């Protein structure tokens, strides 16, 4: 017996060691089990990092969507709640109607481009504007969307397959096809098209470095049909300056172009086969992204771009980099000079596709831009970094979810007042229980600082104030002494002003039956799949009817607004310090519960059933741009992912 016990504890220890090596990819919340968002792992946070949230929209993962995290990796908001998931890109704060809004692209992927629309959300986290392509063009592509003209107009890009005479390139027994790059400037309020530009009118296919039918630059296309049109240009960024001219980045010609806002003429080319500039040391770039104007006067432009690879910047190691480049138009010939280059984390592979460069702080748009911190998204490598002007990394985080890509990443401050309400889950082991557990969260509520917790024994009783607990991460936990049949929580801001409440009829506390209780502890019940009991029993006809019990929730009543200033409550004599004390106990108990579960799993292992828990946790999903539309994870049958949860059951450890 003793040997068995010792053995099981040893197994437990070994399992724990193995598990701590495996990284959590997704996180589980008791109050919002349907969210299951990806983890943002923060590896470096040093003095000098700019306050503000991290905005990312990871894609090519099981739970793609837009998300906001804080500097410690705590989830602040995920789209998986209100608008679902799917492919979203360039998720960021934008200035619309003079106030902070959220802007992002949403759509489906086809080959190397997308078809979708651009959405603007208010700080109540609801949609207020949708931008669609105009002028009979195909749907908007994901590569660019930016608000200009004080938020009145949006620049978007479009990929359009067009017939093109490719006989010079070897296609003469039928029509040839080229993928054109267009951009439009659209009035947000009216949808009116203000400006349109089409690359095939100005940039010939001969400027391309990505030969027809080759696989350079991901995929070039064969040129035989509309679907396989030659992606000779790959327009991936459009920026507008104060004069109303445009800066374009074209990945497959490896060049930037200045385009006249008057007549669409190309005013100059930087890089590529026909550069108008002499390139100084380290300027040369290739397959670049996110080109932006930072400062301009009559003689000078300062621009930033994300260079996936520089052939000349570094002699020993070819690495992706964010670059700040100065263009001197008055020198002869015009000159491009590298002012700064920011390299990614040590050991990070090249970011072959995607990527972004954001300049932070007061010098972001003046001639002293090189005195600024720079925030970089590493595209195909799911890293984000913030650099001091010296290049030193003061913030570094990554998304461990298998397959994660982030097209563009940003840092912003943002204040949101979500239109929805806080979520709550309450649990007690039995109705004589020593404690009732409260798990609460409010997706996107940036002003939330504290929770006030209420309980009652029946639907007509007054709510009893059980105490308050500080917000901790996305989901907070409160352990109330005694059994409470119904729970409710109220969100409070820094000044203890009420912001909103969970369901005002109360959440019925989950109490396991005596049979189920054997698999439960003080803080909750064991996850069935963790035990390996994967085959569902088939109950006979009518079985269970005698034991069935309805949950018995209180009828919904509309929230009485007059109560907003304060609830009519009884006060309990609960010692508020119990909360902290209880959390310590909670951790200890969680550890023991985990050990117990692991022991059980280990027993299965020795039985010859190799449970997923002990096998590799890197369940890989598609990692590169697929050639088919990406399915929307939100439409996958929900029964699918708890299974995946089991294969990543270590994520459960993350939350307790």
Ligand X SMILES: *[C@@H]1O[C@H](CO)[C@@H](O)[C@H](O)[C@H]1NC(C)=O
Binding site for ligand X (CB under 6 A): 50-52, 216-218, 287, 297-300, 308-309, 318, 350, 352, 360, 366-368, 411-413, 457-458, 460-461
**Angstrom distance (rounded) from CA 648 to CA 530:** 10
Residue with structure tokens 């009420």?
Answer: 498
Smallest gap, in angstroms, from Cβ of residue 326 to ligand X?
Answer: 8
**Angstrom distance (rounded) from CA 449 to CA 470:** 6
Q: What is the DSSP string of 379-400?
A: TTS-EEEEE-TT--EEEEEE--
Q: For 576, left (φ over 0), alpha (ψ -120 to 50), or beta? A: alpha
Taking the least distance from each CB to ligand X, the nearer of 5 and 300 is 300
Taking the least distance from each CB to ligand X, the nearer of 364 and 601 is 364
Taking the least distance from each CB to ligand X, the nearer of 52 and 271 is 52
Smallest gap, in angstroms, from Cβ of residue 606 to ligand X?
Answer: 46
Smallest gap, in angstroms, from Cβ of residue 301 to ligand X?
Answer: 9
Smallest gap, in angstroms, from Cβ of residue 436 to ligand X?
Answer: 14
Phi (first) and psi of residue 407, to 5 degrees: -60, -55
Contacts of 474 (CB under 8 A, 6+ apart): 27, 29, 74, 75, 76, 441, 443
Q: Give rounded-to-5 percent helix, strand, coil for the chain.
A: 15, 35, 50
Smallest gap, in angstroms, from Cβ of residue 593 to ligand X?
Answer: 31
- The partner residues of 269 in beta bridges, in order of sequence, read 257
CA triple 346-288-65, angle to 5 deg: 75
3 state SS of 442: coil
Taking the least distance from each CB to ligand X, the nearer of 314 and 654 is 314
Taking the least distance from each CB to ligand X, the nearer of 286 and 400 is 286
Q: How far is CA 245 from CA 135, 159, 285, 417, 565, in A?
A: 21, 21, 22, 37, 53
Taking the least distance from each CB to ligand X, the nearer of 87 and 320 is 320
**Angstrom distance (rounded) from CA 229 to CA 112:** 11
Contacts of 224 (CB under 8 A, 6+ apart): 171, 174, 176, 177
Taking the least distance from each CB to ligand X, the nearer of 119 and 309 is 309
Taking the least distance from each CB to ligand X, the nearer of 325 and 600 is 325
Smallest gap, in angstroms, from Cβ of residue 298 to ligand X?
Answer: 4
CA triple 395-399-405, angle to 5 deg: 110
**Angstrom distance (rounded) from CA 254 to CA 257:** 10
Taking the least distance from each CB to ligand X, the nearer of 206 and 457 is 457
Question: Helix (H) and strand (E) counts for the chain?
Answer: 6, 35
Smallest gap, in angstroms, from Cβ of residue 28 to ligand X?
Answer: 29
Smallest gap, in angstroms, from Cβ of residue 465 to ligand X?
Answer: 14
Smallest gap, in angstroms, from Cβ of residue 367 to ligand X?
Answer: 3
Taking the least distance from each CB to ligand X, the nearer of 263 and 362 is 362
**Angstrom distance (rounded) from CA 255 to CA 232:** 12
Taking the least distance from each CB to ligand X, the nearer of 139 and 339 is 339
Taking the least distance from each CB to ligand X, the nearer of 211 and 595 is 211
**Angstrom distance (rounded) from CA 220 to CA 252:** 9
Smallest gap, in angstroms, from Cβ of residue 24 to ligand X?
Answer: 27
Taking the least distance from each CB to ligand X, the nearer of 426 and 476 is 426
Residue with structure tokens 């992706």?
Answer: 320
Contact between 306 and 356 (Cβ < 8 Å): yes
Q: For 20, left (φ over 0), alpha (ψ -120 to 50), or beta? A: alpha
Smallest gap, in angstroms, from Cβ of residue 531 to ligand X?
Answer: 37
Smallest gap, in angstroms, from Cβ of residue 132 to ligand X?
Answer: 30
Taking the least distance from each CB to ligand X, the nearer of 108 and 328 is 328
Provide the CB-side half-sphere exposure for 39 (13 A, CA): 20
Smallest gap, in angstroms, from Cβ of residue 541 to ligand X?
Answer: 36
- The partner residues of 480 in beta bridges, in order of sequence, read 436
Both tokens assigned to 242: 């104060």
3 state SS of 225: coil
Contacts of 11 (CB under 8 A, 6+ apart): 598, 599, 602
Length of the chain: 656
Taking the least distance from each CB to ligand X, the nearer of 28 and 395 is 395
Does an H or E element contain 247, and which? Answer: strand 246-250
Helical segments of 423-526, H only: 514-517
Smallest gap, in angstroms, from Cβ of residue 208 to ligand X?
Answer: 13
Phi (first) and psi of residue 345, to 5 degrees: -55, 145
Smallest gap, in angstroms, from Cβ of residue 498 to ligand X?
Answer: 24
Taking the least distance from each CB to ligand X, the nearer of 11 and 233 is 233
Smallest gap, in angstroms, from Cβ of residue 518 to ligand X?
Answer: 29
Answer positive or negative: Cα dihedral of 72, 77, 81, 84: negative
Determine whether 149 is exposed, middle or buried from the number of CB atoms within 10 Å of its CB (0-12, 13-18, 19+). middle
């Amino acid at each position: 017996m003793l040997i068995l016990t010792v053995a099981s504890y040893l197994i437990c220890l070994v399992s724990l060691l193995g598990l701590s090596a495996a990284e959590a990819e997704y996180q589980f919340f008791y109050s919002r089990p349907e969210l299951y968002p990806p983890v943002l792992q923060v590896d470096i946070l040093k003095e000098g990092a700019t306050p503000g949230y991290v905005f990312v929209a990871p894609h090519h993962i099981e739970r793609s969507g837009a998300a906001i995290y804080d500097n410690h990796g705590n989830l602040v908001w995920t789209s998986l709640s209100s608008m679902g998931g799917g492919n979203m890109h360039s998720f960021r704060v934008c200035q619309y109607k003079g106030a902070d809004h959220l802007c992002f692209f949403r759509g489906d992927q086809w080959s190397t481009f997308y078809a979708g629309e651009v959405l603007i959300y208010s700080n109540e986290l609801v949609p207020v504007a949708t931008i669609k392509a105009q002028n009979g063009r195909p749907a908007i592509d994901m590569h660019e969307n930016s608000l200009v003209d004080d938020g009145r107009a949006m620049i978007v890009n479009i990929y359009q397959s067009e017939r093109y005479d490719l006989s010079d390139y070897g296609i003469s027994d039928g029509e040839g096809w080229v993928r054109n790059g267009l951009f439009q400037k659209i009035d947000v309020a009216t949808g009116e098209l203000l400006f349109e530009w089409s690359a095939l009118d100005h940039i010939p296919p001969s400027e391309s470095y990505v030969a027809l039918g080759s696989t350079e630059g991901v995929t070039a296309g064969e040129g035989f049909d509309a679907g396989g049109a030659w992606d000779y240009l790959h327009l991936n960024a459009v920026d507008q300056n104060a004069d109303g001219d445009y800066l374009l980045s074209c990945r497959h010609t490896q060049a930037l172009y200045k385009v006249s806002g008057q007549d669409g003429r190309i005013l100059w080319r930087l890089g590529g086969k026909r550069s108008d500039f002499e390139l100084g040391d380290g300027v040369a770039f290739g397959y670049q992204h996110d080109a932006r104007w930072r400062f301009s006067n009559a003689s000078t432009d300062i621009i930033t771009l994300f260079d996936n690879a520089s052939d000349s910047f570094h002699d020993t190691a070819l690495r992706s980099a964010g670059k700040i480049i100065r263009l001197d138009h008055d020198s002869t010939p015009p000159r491009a000079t590298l002012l700064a280059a920011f390299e990614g984390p040590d050991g990070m592979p090249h970011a072959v596709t995607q990527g972004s460069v954001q300049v932070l702080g007061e010098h972001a748009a003046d001639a002293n831009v090189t005195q600024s911190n720079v925030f970089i998204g590493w595209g195909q490598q799911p890293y984000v970094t913030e650099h001091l002007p010296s290049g030193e990394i003061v913030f570094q985080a990554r998304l461990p979810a298998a397959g994660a890509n982030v097209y563009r990443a940003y840092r912003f401050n943002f204040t949101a007042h979500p239109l929805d309400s806080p979520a709550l889950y309450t649990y007690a082991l039995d109705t004589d229980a020593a404690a009732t557990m409260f798990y609460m969260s409010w997706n996107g509520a940036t002003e939330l600082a504290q929770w006030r917790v209420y309980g009652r024994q029946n639907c007509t009783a007054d709510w009893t104030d059980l105490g308050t607990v500080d917000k901790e991460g996305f989901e907070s936990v409160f352990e109330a002494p005694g059994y409470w049949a119904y729970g409710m929580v109220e969100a409070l801001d820094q000044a203890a002003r009420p912001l909103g409440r969970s369901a005002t009829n109360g959440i019925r506390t989950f109490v396991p039956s005596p049979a189920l209780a054997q698999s439960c502890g003080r803080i909750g019940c064991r996850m069935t799949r963790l035990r390996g009991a994967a085959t569902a029993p088939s109950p006979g006809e009518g079985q269970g009817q005698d034991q069935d019990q309805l949950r018995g929730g209180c009828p919904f009543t509309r929230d009485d607004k007059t109560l907003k200033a304060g609830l009519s409550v009884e006060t309990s004599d609960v010692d508020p310090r119990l909360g902290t004390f209880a959390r310590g106990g909670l951790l200890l108990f969680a550890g023991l519960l985990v050990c117990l579960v692991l022991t059980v799993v280990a027993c299965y292992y020795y039985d010859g059933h190799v449970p997923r828990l002990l096998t590799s946790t890197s369940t890989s999903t598609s990692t590169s741009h697929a050639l088919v539309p990406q399915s929307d994870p939100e439409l996958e049958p929900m029964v699918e992912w708890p299974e995946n949860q089991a294969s990543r059951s270590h994520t459960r450890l993350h939350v307790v």
